[in-house]
Amino acid sequence: MQDISDYYRCTGKKTALVPTMGFLHKGHVSLIKKAKENNDITVVSIFVNPMQFGVNEDFDKYPRDFKKDYDICKEAGVDYIFNPEIYEMYNKSLTEVTVKEITGRLEGKFRPGHFTGVATVVLKLINAVKPHNIYLGQKDAQQNAVLKKMVSDLNADVIINICETVREENGLAMSSRNSYLTPEQKSNASILYFLLNEGRKRVLENNFEDTEAIKVEISVLLKQKHPDIELQYYEITDNDRLDNISDLKNYKGEVLISLAAKVGSTRLIDNIVFIKQ
Ligand code: PAF
């Protein structure tokens, strides 16, 4: 891959990387489309990265279908698929990339070590593909914040482009993990986007001094509608360091509302970002 990317760098062609763990869906296709619009060469990486899964997580059962992914990439006009083996990525490696502070919040509390796995693999992908641009979905807001900080702290020569979350008709954010859900769970999971929008409404009404009262109302709403869904967190933060917004009334700027919830045994994440004037 490095010979190919060196060649494109030398010829002045703009290269894009869409990093994925495969089992591609419409969200990935929209990233590929953006990448193709703004670059000469588009590379999709497909690598289920063991380093970002905890011991009791779903690495083994994570959905994989390379043939289907290949067809989707071909149809979308992808120039190269980078599909390394685990031993090629992590051959006796002793090095990890850890971004501090931002990684301890939200997902970090439930998935210790996850973002070290993500940052390490993405830096390795950047070094292998040498893209000018990377395309990531807004659904993984904390991952995006971590990767932006890593790129800036380590002077990586790449621009991170964040693209809108693609949703099912009922509002459920597209995710490879949605394939674990039954049709009934899929329908119930639409409550998550509803809860994010209810949070946004309350933030923008500006009647709440702090975020705690909003979070209580959100838990009540969920209990009324879907008591079987377990909300692991629902946080209202800034969109850069992901700090809780304590003085909500006087806060101005980008607000990120993010949540994680278990629908049956499937853990889903989602978020929305908006401006508070
Ligand atoms: O968002 C994902 O699919 C993964 O975390 C990524 C960025 C491909 C790294 O493995």
| Ligand 1 and 107: CB distance under 6 A | no
Q: Which of 271, 269, 255 is nearest to 208 (CA)?
A: 255
- Reply yes or no on whether 28 is catalytic: yes
| Amino acid identity, position 180 | Y
Residue minimizing CA distance to atom 8 of ligand 1: 20
Write the CB contacts of 241 (distance below 8 Å, at least 6 apart in sequence).
Answer: 101, 102, 145
Q: Pick from 28, 32, 49 the residue to mutate for probing ligand 1's pocket: most ligand atoms within 8 Å of its CB.
A: 49
Cα 254 to the chain's mean position, in Å?
18
Structure tokens given for 69 = 């992914």
pLDDT of residue 73: 98
- Closest atom of ligand 1 relative to the 48 alpha carbon: 10
The whole-angstrom separation of Cα 174 and Cα 172 is 6
List the chain pLDDT tens, one digit each, 277 residues: 778 888 888 888 999 999 999 999 999 999 999 999 999 999 999 999 999 999 999 999 999 999 999 999 999 999 999 999 999 999 889 999 999 999 999 999 999 999 999 999 999 999 999 999 999 999 999 999 999 999 999 999 999 999 999 999 999 999 999 999 999 999 999 999 999 999 999 999 999 998 999 999 999 999 999 999 999 999 999 999 999 998 999 999 999 999 999 999 999 999 999 999 9
**Structure-block tokens of residue 160:** 């991170």
CA–CA separation, 125 and 123 (whole Å) = 5
Half-sphere exposure of 273 (CA within 13 A, CB side): 18
Ligand 1 center from residue 264 Cα (angstroms): 23
Could you tell me the domains of the chain?
2-163 (3.40.50.620), 176-276 (3.30.1300.10)
Q: What ranges in 130-248 are assigned the alpha helix state H?
A: 141-153, 183-188, 191-205, 211-225
